[in-house]
Amino acid sequence: MLHFYYGVMGSSKTAMLLMQRYNYMTQDLHVALVKPAIDTRIDLNTVYSRVGLTACADIVLGPGHSIREQLSWFAVRNGYNDVPYVFVDEAQFLSPEQVQEMADMSDEIEFFCYGLKTDFMGEFFPGSAALLRLAEDVGEVPGGLCWCGCKATMNTRIDGKGNVIKEGEQVLIDNQQEIRYIGLCYKHWKAGISHAPVSE
């Protein structure tokens, strides 16, 4: 089955993914940890959670890679007959073709994809749109909060001074150009207010 668990920035999606993967590993089940190559926050192979959990990706998936091919090579390298459990971090960066491949393999493999639903402009990522179309199990990772204490639903790009940025390229990773991403509630995202008013 193809699963898509989406959550806003700061909802600990990667930590949840790593904990779920750990549960499968302790049962000696064959798992693969996949991340799209576009996420270069730490280094190419590291899956990183802001909570502090990290792991090394088994497969770093380039934009043109076939996930089917990559999984079969991973199985051969490890002497596995199959890899029935696959965890994908930052799944919004998958291509629609890669999501389609996963859907086509999902009668034999459990794909657990964690990622963002929308970008900093409130638009779908192509990978997220494909996952929402094709995943048989869609759920929300709760817990992301706005500074006001309300549920955060909007991924927000801010510059080094905390200004909310509403225009630009869809993908700018947060170690570039001093930008960061935070979660805001819809009201504060719309108003472009990224932090509580400073009292004097």
Q: Assess 134 for contact with Zn ion (CB under 5 A).
A: no
Residues 6+ apart with CB under 8 A from 9: 116, 144, 152, 155, 156, 181, 182, 183
From the list 51-59, 74-82, 96-104, 142-150, the region that binds Zn ion by CB under 5 A is 142-150
Active-site residue list? 90
Q: Contact, 111 vs 5, CB < 8 A?
A: no
How distant is the alpha carbon of residue 66 from its chain centre?
18
Q: What minimum distance in Å lies between the beta carbon of 117 and Zn ion? A: 18
Residues 6+ apart with CB under 8 A from 133: none
Which CB atom, from 38 or from 148, has the smaller least distance to Zn ion?
Answer: 148
From the list 3-11, 13-21, 86-94, 146-154, the region that binds Zn ion by CB under 5 A is 146-154
Q: Assess 145 for contact with Zn ion (CB under 5 A).
A: no
What amino acid is encoded at 118 in this protein? T
Residues that bind Zn ion (rule: CB under 5 A) add up to a total of 5
Which CB atom, from 32 or from 193, has the smaller least distance to Zn ion?
Answer: 193
Binding mask 176-195 for Zn ion (x = CB under 5 A): ---------x--x-------
What amino acid is encoded at 169 in this protein? E
Q: What minimum distance in Å lies between the beta carbon of 191 and Zn ion? A: 9
| Three-state DSSP state, 134 | helix
Q: Contact, 97 vs 63, CB < 8 A?
A: no
Please, which residues bridge with residue 47 across strands?
55
Q: Assess 154 for contact with Zn ion (CB under 5 A).
A: no
Q: What minimum distance in Å lies between the beta carbon of 145 and Zn ion? A: 8
Which CB atom, from 95 or from 156, has the smaller least distance to Zn ion?
Answer: 156
